[in-house]
Chains A and B, each alone.
Chain A
Amino acid sequence: MSKMHVKLKVNGRQVEGLAEPRMLLVHFLREELGITGPHIGCETSHCGACTVDMDGRSVKSCTVFVAQANGAEIVTVEGLTNPDGSLGVIQEKFREHHGLQCGFCTPGMITRAHRLLQENPNPTEEEVRFGIAGNLCRCTGYQNIVKAIMAAAAELNAAKEAAQ
């Protein structure tokens, strides 16, 4: 099959490349761009380990063709680290509250949490659980993930208030 010219903005950077249209976005990110944060867990859009932000929405990059993503703006977990290299608020809260163990679901989980808190900056515990239900974790039982996201929401809101 012929390859197509793909242009994306990934974590704020313009990237281009040649790819077969059938290449899955997750493979394009991982194999072509070396962005290995998004992981492949189930391949049938159930586990969410491949979650990235595409044009301001959480998507499962294992179920998006790179052709569909052409022209889109993508954010992966790598893009959530602070510019100075320190951990972003959600990343830090996951560490602080032991919201990860093997780390495999973590990039998808944090990327999803990032979007969830954009959509709903003040979620209840129930809303957090519903909002991350597209991301499976085999290690943590979610309890500390939920705690970490609630803590991140509180800190982000406090920072917002302080800024006002």
Chain B
Amino acid sequence: MIPAGFEYHRPTDVASAVAILGRHGDEARVLAGGHSLIPMMKLRMAAPAHLVDLRGIAELGRIEIGDDAVVIGAMVAQHDLIAHEGLAQALPIIREAALQIADPQVRSMGTIGGNLANGDPGNDMPGLMQCLDARFALVGPGGEREVAAREFYESAYFTAREDDEILTRVIVPRPPAGAGWAYEKIKRKIGDYATAAAAVMLGEGFASVAMTNLADTPVWCEAAGRALAAGDVEGCVAAMLEAIDPAEDNRGPVAFKKHAAAAALRRAIARAQARRA
């Protein structure tokens, strides 16, 4: 499995990266950790002529813990998310989810930005960020704009990001004190995508619920959150089952996936409730 050739660029600031992308149009792709793109290139299902590696842009590697929100640079690796004590204090659900992504080596390279921007319905971070109501900063030739995670995903591998834009930062609002949280992932083995995964946050009078790999985008379900906020667990599950639209694959047929989705969601809710202060 050998990728086709390409020109390699390693800019040191975002503006240069955007400029290179602009110069080469759809011939160019952004390279973050590469753990989705490189396998695709090795299978020759992707053959960009230019790769714009973001690893030289120091500002994209930062995590800032603010009073109201946490800002995570796009090149922060899953490994960094797990290791960061401040983040674990502010948003422990991120560590819990990151630990369930792939394996240690992949987490060394795989980044939050790549995980979010690729638009792969199997990725864990998009559903989590929808649950947390995060916003993504996108920088393009026209400057910076923000898009809500809940509005970012259009269909599998299609997102609100334009080809000449770079997802640079993730802004995650801090949940109210005492909120319960859980990320629950059912998978065949370590290294696999989710058969079904659920992100749950809940607290006094609110709840937010999103699921992964059960449709061609992550599924954040407002009705499910509303039901859960009212204490109606089964209503929450029922609403979510209405919202998801899983496809049959090697992980199983649709009916199984719905059943597994319900199980994952119930487990996540139970753990989140137990963690609620």
Which residues of A come within 8 Å of B, CB atoms?
Answer: 1-2, 4, 20-22, 24, 43-46, 48, 51, 54, 57-60, 63-65, 67-68, 70, 112, 115-116, 130-134
Contacts and interface: CB of A to CB of B under 8 A. Distances in A.
Given A64-B34, A64-B109, A67-B10, A131 B191 contact: no
Contacts of A21: 5-8, 51
A116 B191 CA distance: 17
A63 B6 contact: no
Given A2-B7, A64-B34, 14 more contacts: A22-B3, A45-B106, A48-B103, A48-B105, A60-B106, A60-B109, A63-B35, A63-B109, A64-B38, A65-B38, A68-B55, A70-B10, A112-B105, A134-B104
Contacts of B79: 57
A117 to B, nearest CB: 12
Contacts of A131: 104
B4 interface: yes
Interface in B191-242: 191
Contacts of A2: 7
A112 B105 CA distance: 8
Given A57-B79, A63-B34, A45 B8 contact: no
A27 B103 CA distance: 22
Contacts of B38: 45, 63-65
B183 to A, nearest CB: 16
Interface of B: 1-8, 10, 31, 34-35, 38-39, 41-42, 51, 53, 55, 79, 102-106, 108-109, 190-191
B78 to A, nearest CB: 11
A60 B53 CA distance: 18
Q: Binding site of B, secondary structure by majority: helix, strand, loop or mixed? A: mixed
A133 B109 contact: no
Contacts of B6: 1, 21-22
A115 B105 CA distance: 10
A4 B39 contact: no
Contact of B5 (A20, A116, A132): A20
Contacts of B41: 22
Contacts of B1: 43-44
Nearest to A67: B8
Contacts of B34: 63-65, 68
A67 B109 CA distance: 14
Specify which of B39, B51, B108 lies most central, judged by the most chain A CB atoms within 10 Å of its CB.
B108
B115 to A, nearest CB: 14
Contacts of B191: 46, 133-134
A57 B191 CA distance: 18
Contacts of B102: 45, 134
A70 to B, nearest CB: 8
Contacts of B7: 1-2, 21
B5 A22 contact: yes
Given A20-B5, A63-B38, A68-B31, A134 B109 contact: no
B111 to A, nearest CB: 12
A59 B109 contact: yes
A115 B79 CA distance: 13
A45 B53 contact: no
A57 B108 contact: yes
Given A45-B39, A64-B34, A59 B5 contact: no
Nearest to B104: A134
B53 A68 contact: yes
Nearest to B39: A44
A58 B104 contact: yes
Specify which of B4, B8, B35, B55 lies most central, judged by the most chain A CB atoms within 10 Å of its CB.
B8
A24 B6 CA distance: 13
B138 to A, nearest CB: 23
Contact of B105 (A4, A44, A51, A130): A51
